Chains A and B, each alone.
Chain A
Amino acid sequence: MRAFASLYEELDTTTSTNLKLAAMVRYFRAAPPADAAWAAYILSGRRLKRFIGPTTLFEWLIEASALPRWLIEEAVSSVGDLAETIALLIAPEDVASEDVPLATWVNKRLLTLRDADESRQKAEIVGWWRSLP
Chain B
Amino acid sequence: MHCACRVSRSLNTESQPLITVTPRGLYCPPGDFYIDPWQPVQTALITHAHGDHLRHGSARYIVARPGEGIARQRLGSGHAVMAVDYGAALALGGVRVSLHPAGHILGSAQVRIEHEGRVWVVSGDYKRQPDPTCAPFQPLECDVFVSEATFALPVYRWPPTSQVIAEIAQWWQANRERGIASVLFCYALGKAQRVLAELQAFADEPIYLHGSVTTCTETYRRAGIKLRPTLTVTSERKKDYRGALIIAPPGASGTPWMRRFGEHSSAFCSGWMRVRGDRRRRGYDRGFVLSDHADWPALLETCRATRARRVLLTHGHSDALARYLNEQGIEAAALETAYGAED
Contact = CB atoms under 8 A, between A and B. Distances in A.
Interface string B227-264: 00000000000000000000000000000000000000
Contacts, number: 49
B170 to A, nearest CB: 11
B328 to A, nearest CB: 10
Interface stretch (A7-15, A27-35, A124-132): A7-15
Interface stretch (A81-89, A98-106, A113-121): A81-89
Interface string B262-304: 0001000000001111000001111000000000000000000
B327 interface: yes
A63 to B, nearest CB: 15
Nearest to B178: A19
Contacts of A78: 153, 155, 275, 317
A84 B276 contact: yes
Interface in A25-70: 65, 67-68, 70
B15 to A, nearest CB: 34
Contact of B285 (A15, A67, A85): A15
Given A74-B320, A78-B153, A79-B277, A13 B327 contact: no
| Range of interface residues on A (Cβ < 8 Å) | 20 to 34
Interface string B47-83: 0000000000000000000000000000000000000
Contacts of A67: 154
B242 to A, nearest CB: 15
Interface string A1-24: 000000000001111100000000
A110 interface: no
B153 A80 contact: no
Contacts of A85: 155
A86 to B, nearest CB: 10
B283 A15 contact: yes
A20 to B, nearest CB: 11
Interface of A: 12-16, 65, 67-68, 70-71, 74-75, 78-81, 84-85, 88-89, 91
Closest 6 CB pairs of A and B: A88-B155, A80-B277, A14-B285, A75-B155, A74-B320, A75-B153
Given A14-B265, A81-B276, 7 more contacts: A71-B324, A74-B153, A78-B275, A81-B277, A84-B277, A85-B155, A88-B155
28 contacts: A13-B286, A14-B265, A14-B285, A14-B286, A15-B283, A16-B265, A16-B285, A67-B154, A68-B324, A70-B323, A71-B320, A74-B153, A74-B317, A74-B320, A75-B153, A78-B153, A78-B317, A79-B155, A79-B275, A80-B275, A80-B277, A81-B277, A88-B155, A88-B274, A88-B275, A89-B154, A89-B155, A91-B157
